[in-house]
Amino acid sequence: MSEIAKKKDPLFGPRDMKLIKTPFSKENPIIVQVLGICSALAVTVKLQPAVVMALSVTVVVMMSNVIISLLRNTIPPRIRIIVQLVIVSFLVIIVDQVLRAFVYDASKQLSVYVGLIITNCIVMGRLEAFAMSNKPWPSLMDGLGNGLGYGIILIIIGFVRELFGSGTLWDIRIMPEGYIPNGLMVMPAMALVLLGIIIWIHRSRNKDLLEKE
């Protein structure tokens, strides 16, 4: 066997890095694919719950991708959605219990939205579109990229809403004394407005996406 044949693709090779980086911009699950919008709007009044939700979804999509990839050749096509839901539900329960144990205040703020990760279109979408037809390592990278791509949008919106809506970041006073919080920022509609602005900026900087559509 030749030396070239013996060589294996390195971890975090070009393909892996592409799987991680692409969801940050050209295939971002929220601002391009328009997935996971509900949670993006619901948990971004404060920065802390936005970060916790972002990490929770990232962990769930990574682990579910790996598990489904490992089982993909043994899952009967007729019940694949049921199997996927069972696995995602199990992972969400674990994540929920961990949050209750270690970050109870953030868990309380997230309320039912942690449980609703089960129905998050990003999680189920990656299982169907990628994990069912790829090996575990690329599936893990795909889950990581999409989780981080989802999370960065939540963090941006949460950052802006808390800073201008409460004058704080992570409940620490940032704005100077005398600053009057902008009440509009804490209203649910403002999250949609900010998301629209992010989408507009992204589309204006990536006009090739419009041409593809």
8-38 per-position pLDDT tens digit:
556 777 888 888 999 888 889 999 888 888 8
User: Which band of pLDDT confidence, cut at 50, 70 and 90, is reported for residue 178?
Assistant: confident
35-44 per-position pLDDT tens digit:
888 877 888 8
Please give the pLDDT value at position 213. Answer: 52
Contact 62, 34 (CB under 8 A): no
Average pLDDT of the chain, as a whole number: 87
Region at 168 (left for phi over 0; alpha for psi -120 to 50; beta for the rest): beta
| pLDDT of 205 over the 80 cut | yes
Please give the pLDDT value at position 6. Answer: 42
Contact 121, 14 (CB under 8 A): no
Contact 191, 41 (CB under 8 A): yes
Contact 144, 126 (CB under 8 A): no
45-87 per-position pLDDT tens digit:
999 999 999 999 999 999 999 999 999 999 998 999 999 999 9
| pLDDT of 211 over the 80 cut | no
* Predicted structure pTM score: 0.88
Distance separating alpha carbons of residues 33 and 146, to the nearest angstrom: 11
Q: How far is CA 32 from the centre of its chain?
A: 13
Sign of CA pseudo-dihedral 124, 127, 130, 132: negative
Please give the pLDDT value at position 4. Answer: 40
DSSP letter assigned to residue 24? G
What's the whole-number mean pLDDT along residues 148-166?
94
Pair of tokens at residue 51: 């970060």
